[in-house]
Amino acid sequence: MNNFATVILAAGKSKRMKTSLPKVLHKAMGKTLVNHVLDACFSSESGLLICVASAENKDALTKAMPPETLFCVQQEQLGTADAVKTALSLLQQDMIKNVLVVPGDMPLLKKETIRELIRIHENEKNLLTVLTGIVKEPFSYGRIIRDSKGIIAIVEEKDLRPKQRQIHEVNSGVYVFDVELLTRCLSKINKSNAQKEFYLTDSVQIALKINPAKNKKGKNAVTRKVDTFITNYGEECLGVNSRKDLAVVIDILRKRKLQDLMDNGVTIEDPSTTFIDSCVQIGKDTIIKPFTIISGNVAVGEKCEIGPYAHVHENIRIADQVCIGNFVEVKRSVIGKGSKAKHLTYLGDTTLGEKVNIGAGTITANYDGHKKHPTVIGDGSHIGSNTVVVAPNVLGKNVTTGGGSVIPAGKSIPDNSLVYGVPARVIKQLT
């Protein structure tokens, strides 16, 4: 989009999180909070991306944000209005017309909602459009104060009058501003509030004064240019201010992911005990059994069966018709079509060919105390129960290992052989 910018606010001190890691870099279902926000708010066509950081967290944020991000540093955390002020010169210099302002701590925002907010702002030629939501527990959020014609103010929790506490429409903290209006608002916002901070929320009242609803001839002749878009999903307004909020958000993201997988043909036998990261891909007709955790960069094919009690994590490619059974951990591995590891196994840094059968209790010993090493097991191999393959190692195609075999590191096993013992020796060539 031309003349459009997105400003992510991330300079806050995160006092309520009690953390040394910047709040927005905490993870929810495998992804940092700010990366969830970016998924909803930013794409390469969205125009300028600006991140407001603090002097302390800028370096850490730089690593998490897309390379095209421009950073502004807020020296002192004086409030959300002060944070946006640090981005003003960039917005003016780049002739930006409208700017989307988003707190970096709101991982539940949806792409569709942000798109609609921007569409309304542009179609209605608004000067300020506030994203709001109706929530069950409005405590700690800014409340939306309305008169018969629309929004007239946002009042923060600590500044509420007793009656206003009953209001369930809250401020998401997400806005689209006309940059000229934003500039005028920011020059007028002061700290006369309970927290002695510069509140960005004061922009509503200031903007309405700058742009009164009435024209000279009478009431309502000019539409207000300050408006709201109420999302259908109040949960989107949830910001992560504490560890408790983080747990709530993780649970919502987890359920959303499971719903999405089920909508796309994956069976989740027990959603309440299944944890699958947001970025995991799973093909249709795969069955996920209870108490299963799949995390990190993982792709699972079609018609697989994973679990119960399986832990599949970090850079995994699983082809179709694979079975990963109970108490099996798979880490940084590739599993070929039709292969099975059904019981009590650890496969780490391992590449399995097609139709490999891994017996119960098999371990690929990938760590020598200093480095991780790879294991390769060829197509059609049968690994006997309790085999230990000490990596690095390559087992050829159609290798059979006897139960309890220990295959020492670096001892490649040729195709079509039967090996047995501790350490395992080739007994005979099978064919």
10 binds, among ligand UD1, Ca ion, none (CB under 5 to 8 A by kind): ligand UD1
Give the residue nearest to ligand UD1 (CB). Answer: 142
Applying CB under 6 A, the span of 199-207, 213-221, 373-381, 422-430 interacting with ligand UD1 comes to 199-207
For ligand UD1, the binding residue among 30, 47, 133, 173 (CB under 6 A) is 173
305 binds, among Ca ion, ligand UD1, none (CB under 5 to 8 A by kind): none
Q: Are 143 and 158 in contact (CB under 8 A)?
A: no
For Ca ion, the binding residue among 47, 104, 142, 239 (CB under 5 A) is 239
Residue numbers annotated as active site: 343
Applying CB under 6 A, the span of 170-178, 304-312, 352-360, 416-424 interacting with ligand UD1 comes to 170-178
The terminus-to-terminus CA distance of the chain in angstroms comes to 65
Measured CA angle at 320 (ends 283, 314), to 5 deg: 70
Nearby residues of 28 by Cβ (< 8 Å), 6 or more positions away: 36, 107, 240, 246, 249, 250, 253, 278
Total residues interacting with ligand UD1, rule: CB under 6 A: 28
**Under rule CB under 6 A, which residues in 47-66 are in contact with ligand UD1?**
52
78 binds, among ligand UD1, Ca ion, none (CB under 5 to 8 A by kind): ligand UD1
CB of 180 to ligand UD1, least distance (A): 21
98 binds, among ligand UD1, Ca ion, none (CB under 5 to 8 A by kind): none
Please identify, using beta-carbon distances, which residue of 139 and 163 lies nearer to Ca ion: 139
For ligand UD1, the binding residue among 154, 179, 377, 394 (CB under 6 A) is 154
Q: Are 412 and 394 in contact (CB under 8 A)?
A: yes
How far apart CA 387 and CA 419 sit, in angstroms, is 10
How far apart CA 342 and CA 344 sit, in angstroms, is 7
For ligand UD1, the binding residue among 17, 38, 51, 83 (CB under 6 A) is 83
Residues 104-123 vs Ca ion: string with x where CB under 5 A? -x------------------
CB of 255 to ligand UD1, least distance (A): 21
CB of 252 to Ca ion, least distance (A): 16
**Under rule CB under 5 A, which residues in 9-28 are in contact with Ca ion?**
none
Q: Does 277 bind ligand UD1 (CB under 6 A)?
A: no
Q: Enumerate binding residues for ligand UD1 (CB under 6 A).
A: 9-12, 52, 74, 77-80, 82-83, 103-105, 141-142, 154, 156, 170-173, 199-201, 239, 241
